[in-house]
Structure 1
Amino acid sequence: MAQKLGPLARSLSSSYYGDALPAHDRYHAERVRDLSIRLANDCKRPVDGDVLAAAAWLHDIGRPRERTDEIDDHDEWAAAEAAALLESEGVAADRIDAVTHCIRAHSIRASSPEPETLEARLLFDADKLDAAGARGIVRLACIVGERSGRRDEAYAVIDDASASGLAASGLPDVTLLREWADERLDALYTDPGRRLGESRRRFVDDFFARFENEIGVDGTQ
């Protein structure tokens, strides 16, 4: 009996996340797998859950290499690498094509292809939903930290520039996180994804309302 694609992809992907930073590590891949299956279970149309799970495990295997400038596009690299890995395990060509389309189309970048299958749209939505809600805000802050940690690059100030006399640096402030979350929630494709997205959007709104009111100190002293 052939091994199921999901567990196979989990095993094949494991070593690629060894050097990953928190925003794109194996825990992110697992959350995306769980979220995508959750959304699939709420779909009225049939979903190939095995293809979806495999794509979730493999979608960010190129992120560590992209971060260190070894590759330019983690989507294309991951799709090609996943195809080679799955082919070496005897996976049928049509199944490989289904997985790699999901991987190529998962990014929000303008250069990414449109997700044409339901599985690809569910993976896209799950990946974007992991950037909203409580975990999502933490994850977006990790991304800011990763970019700020690059040599000679100061990326953002995690404060509210409108309320701080020290924010005249020209750098983005905490509203960058809100913009990123909104951008991803506005891009969702599926009805189950949009429903969950609205719940997470409400949390994001509540979080930033709390953020704006949390300091409560007169900065003139």
Structure 2
Amino acid sequence: MCLYLCALLLSTLALSSSSGIQKAHDTLSTLLKNRNTDMQHYIDQAAAFAREQKTVSSGHDWWHTYRVWQMAKKIHEHEGGNILVIELAALLHGIDNHKFHNGDLLVGAKTAQAFLESIHVPKDIIESVYDIVATCSFKGAADTSEMKTLEGNIVQDADRLDAMGAMGIARTFAYAGYKNHAMYDPEKPYKQHASFEEYSKNDGSAINHFYEKLLVLKDRLNTKTARAIAEKRHAYMEEFLEQFYGEWEATR
């Protein structure tokens, strides 16, 4: 908004003389260049910070963050939104994940806020990123809360798409191995958790997680772009389960 007002003022002043037009153009070009330089600096710093974080599960490592970051940018190309908020939130969404902090949904957002303040990101951007990081996580099939902004919708969709398809399958088994959960136990059916507290304490098998989260995600996406991408990933997971059960029962 500030940049827009500056451009409007400069354009008005430029009307008074031909030389003013060139001066206005040069000034606006400088403003845009400085703004883009600042934005890239913030993004580079956030990427470095995210990559430095210690991870305790390969399903929630830097490369998960990287994939979410890239997908968020791809969705933004079709959906719009504030790209700085989107990139920063995507890069910081997994910091101090609640899964490894006793279900605390705010610890990651607070860490992200402190980091962004330390590199002097504008306050309004920090507030937007904080809200996204604090609320974008999947909280169980019973949770139907919605993100407040387009930027939040995009980051949440990017995160959820990484829990689908081949990547979602790989991450599910990686996390189950880390938690020492069974790959599959036909005597322990999956649950539709009634609350986040119940979901966060879940100790079911990797296969149960498909029904408790992965297969639910297709209908919980926010943007048209993400929903289109999800179709093939959802179908792939269904095909995997069919093959898995066939091999389990020795029918394939």
TM-score by length of 1: 0.79
* Residue of structure 2 aligned with 1:95, choices 125, 132, 144: 125
Retained in 1: the 8 A contact 2:59–2:171?
yes
* Residue of structure 2 aligned with 1:119, choices 146, 151, 156: 151
Greater share of helix = 2
Tell whether 2:43 aligns with 1:6: yes
Provide, for residues 3-25 of structure 1, a one-character-per-residue CA deviation record: whole Å limited to 9, x for no partner.
Answer: 52322211222222x23310111
Alignment length (residue pairs): 198
Give the deviation of 1:215 after TM superposition: 5.1
Retained in 2: the 8 A contact 1:108–1:184?
no
- Aligned-residue sequence identity (percent) comes to 26
TM-score by length of 2: 0.70
Kindly provide the amino acid, as one letter, of the partner of residue 214 in structure 1.
E
In 2, distance between residues paired with 1:26 and 1:54? 14
Tell whether 2:218 aligns with 1:185: yes
Q: 1:122 to 1:52 in 2, by over 3 A?
A: same
Q: 1:210 to 1:15 in 2, by over 3 A?
A: same
The RMSD of aligned alpha carbons is 2.5
Consecutive unaligned residues of structure 2, counting only runs of 5 or more, are 1-33, 190-202
> Map of 1:7-86 to 2, 5 A cutoff?
7-16=44-53, 18-43=54-79, 46-63=80-97, 67=100, 69=101, 72-73=103-104, 75-86=105-116
In 2, distance between residues paired with 1:212 and 1:82? 42
Kindly provide the amino acid, as one letter, of the partner of residue 63 in structure 2.
Y
Structure 2 residue aligned with 1:158: 184
Structure 2 residue aligned with 1:195: 228
Larger Rg: 2
Retained in 2: the 8 A contact 1:9–1:54?
yes
Retained in 1: the 8 A contact 2:72–2:86?
yes
In 2, distance between residues paired with 1:205 and 1:117? 31
Kindly provide the amino acid, as one letter, of the partner of residue 128 in structure 1.
R
Give the deviation of 1:177 after TM superposition: 3.6
Retained in 2: the 8 A contact 1:8–1:54?
no
Give the deviation of 1:202 after TM superposition: 1.0
Consecutive unaligned residues of structure 1, counting only runs of 5 or more, are 149-154, 162-167
Structure 1 residue aligned with 2:13: none
